[in-house]
Amino acid sequence: MKISLTNIGKRYNYEWIFRKVNYDFISEHNYVIIGSNGSGKSTLLQVIAGSLMNSEGGIEFNIQSSTLKIEEEERYKYLSYCAPYLDLFDELTLTESIEFQEKFKPFQKGLNTKQIIELTELEKAKNKQLKYYSSGMKQRVRLALAVLADTPLLLLDEPTSNLDKKAIEWYQKLVGNYSDNRLIIVASNQQENEYPFCDKQLNIEDYK
């Protein structure tokens, strides 16, 4: 997959968050968008995901092995997204959450519900409603649903938020095991434990 940003800019009212971002993301590499808090890195990730509209410029998604362009209304099928501010369905259990997502987006390598629960390391809480989960447990669920989805594009916004040391190690292992043949873009305020697998950096503060 290849994502091309051409003169991308985003503003709120009269304030520009960033402008004239020209950058290509290609699946041979993994990328981190770095910047301080409030710099616009999460905003750029949301623009790439399509959850926010850019104020200027254009974005193009392509299947890299061909000239096939992915139309804007079809992009959601090719990406999975994780951020600590994304809501989960708190009335669902972990088991139900996995089964619900599978109706809309398949999981990797034919993983079944039991295997996914094992990978979250939350087996003891699999039948508990998510509203009773701690913030760290909820972040594990968000990460597992995104990382284990069968998508060529994985977007992670501050993925280690609310994770302790053991959970950070779990996250790094999970991404490492399911990173083949996909493009990964992480937004981080320079927390290096969030992107040890990234070999390219885009500093959003260069586009003010």
C-alpha to C-alpha distance for 115 and 56, rounded to whole angstroms: 43
C-alpha to C-alpha distance for 180 and 116, rounded to whole angstroms: 18
DSSP reduced 3-state for 184: strand
Please check whether residue 145 is in contact with residue 80, taking contact to mean a CB–CB distance below 8 angstroms: yes
Give residue 66's pLDDT: 58
Sheet containing strand 153-157, edge to edge, reads 79-82, 153-157, 183-188, 31-34, 200-203
For the beta carbon of residue 30, count every other beta carbon within 10 angstroms: 20
Give residue 80's pLDDT: 97
Return the structure tokens found at 34. Answer: 């770095």
Whole-structure pTM value: 0.94
C-alpha to C-alpha distance for 132 and 162, rounded to whole angstroms: 15
Mean pLDDT per block of 10 residues along the chain (208 residues) reads: 95 94 95 94 96 95 76 91 95 97 91 97 97 98 98 97 97 96 94 95 95
C-alpha to C-alpha distance for 147 and 43, rounded to whole angstroms: 20
Give residue 67's pLDDT: 67
* H-run or E-run covering 116: helix 113-120
Count CA atoms within 13 Å of residue 23 on its CB side.
20
DSSP reduced 3-state for 84: coil
Q: At what angle do helices 135-147 and 165-177 cross, to 10 degrees?
A: 10
Show the 3-state SS of 130-146.
HHHCCHHHHHHHHHHHH
Q: Which domains does the chain have, with CATH numbers?
A: 2-207 (3.40.50.300)
Give residue 187's pLDDT: 97
